[in-house]
């Protein structure tokens, strides 16, 4: 069972470049989430999608956009990457249970 | 004041000892509580839910104190493999967001 799959696992970008982080879950969960994790900061919610067709801002949405493509997939887009967006990004999904996480994407912006 | 607060540690504990740490939350309407563990450079994984009456899972005991608004995690007979960061999570069931603590780092020494 794959659970939550994130791609890519690692990425290095130059300032100003754009990219999309992909996330897919095969557990038929309604809710999906994107977090970033920085040293000493814990997990901070960027965006979440309570159900297919809906998205909402979390704690730190600036500089990001999301798309809930269907029930399985929830992508995170950086339109113009900045060094402050260097972080580890986690996707998670959930129904009436605790969250299940993907392996994370380690993103460096130079 | 942060919504969910944890002592960042690290807690340096000899193998076989008992260790406990707390997590305080600010919103009295919080409904669900969980402990996750996170190994270095890995995704968070659910350790256990925290129930009102307290609950035990092997060497791990979780408790909830609603009056003082904190949850606790106690680890008995600690193992080297218990070394990790322990994250507490609080939910408000009125929405889909989970509030994460920044984590407590635990190091078990031989």
Considering CB atoms only, which of A44, A48, A102 is closest to B96?
A: A48
Cβ–Cβ gap B97/A42 under 8 Å: no
Contact B82, B66 (CB under 8 A): no
- Using an 8 Å Cβ cutoff, are A108 and A11 in contact? yes
Q: What pLDDT, on a 0 to 100 scale, did the predictor assign at position B96?
A: 67
Q: pLDDT for A52-100, tens place per residue? A: 989 999 989 999 999 998 999 999 999 999 999 999 999 999 887 778 9
- Examine the pLDDT at B7 and tell me if it is beyond 60: yes
The pairs formed by B90-93 with CB atoms below 8 angstroms and a separation of 24 or more are B90/B3, B90/B4, B90/B25, B90/B27, B90/B30, B90/B32, B90/B33, B91/B30, B91/B31, B91/B32, B91/B33, B91/B34, B92/B27, B92/B29, B92/B30, B92/B31, B93/B31, B93/B32
Mean pLDDT of B21-35: 91
Dump pLDDT digits (tens) for B32-54.
Answer: 899 999 998 899 999 999 988 99
- Token readout for B96 is 């889909």
Closest Cβ opposite residue A40 in set B34, B98, B102: B102
Please state the rounded mean pLDDT for residues A34-43: 88
Query: Do residue B102 and residue A48 have CB atoms under 8 angstroms apart?
Result: no
Does residue B89 contact residue B99 with C-beta atoms inside 8 Å?
yes
Give the length of chain A: 110
Mean pLDDT of B76-103: 88
Question: A42 falls in which pLDDT band (50, 70, 90)?
Answer: confident
Whole-number pLDDT of residue A9: 95
Instruction: Say yes or no to pLDDT of B75 above 80.
Output: yes
Predicted confidence at residue A76, as pLDDT, reads 98
Secondary structure of residue B81 in the 3-state scheme: helix
């Amino acid at each position: 069972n794959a659970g939550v799959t994130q791609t890519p696992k690692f990425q290095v970008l130059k300032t100003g470049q754009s990219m999309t982080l992909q996330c897919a879950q095969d557990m038929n969960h309604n809710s999906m989430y994107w977090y970033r994790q920085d040293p000493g900061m814990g997990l901070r919610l960027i965006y979440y999608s309570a159900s297919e067709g809906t998205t909402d801002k979390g704690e730190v949405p600036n500089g990001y956009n999301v798309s809930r493509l269907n029930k399985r997939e929830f992508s995170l887009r950086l339109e113009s990457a900045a060094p402050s967006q260097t972080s580890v990004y986690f996707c998670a999904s959930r129904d009436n249970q605790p969250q299940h996480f993907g392996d994370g994407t380690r993103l460096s912006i130079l | 004041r942060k919504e969910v607060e944890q002592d960042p540690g690290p807690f340096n504990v000899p193998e076989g000892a008992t260790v406990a740490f707390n997590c305080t939350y600010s919103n009295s309407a919080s409904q669900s509580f969980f402990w996750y563990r996170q190994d270095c450079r890995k995704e968070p994984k659910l350790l256990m839910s925290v129930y009102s009456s307290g609950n035990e899972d092997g060497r791990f005991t979780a408790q909830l104190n609603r009056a003082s608004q904190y949850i606790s995690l106690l680890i008995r007979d600690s193992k080297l493999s218990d070394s990790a960061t322990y994250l507490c999570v609080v939910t408000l069931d009125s929405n889909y967001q989970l509030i994460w603590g920044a984590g407590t780092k635990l190091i078990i020494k031989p």
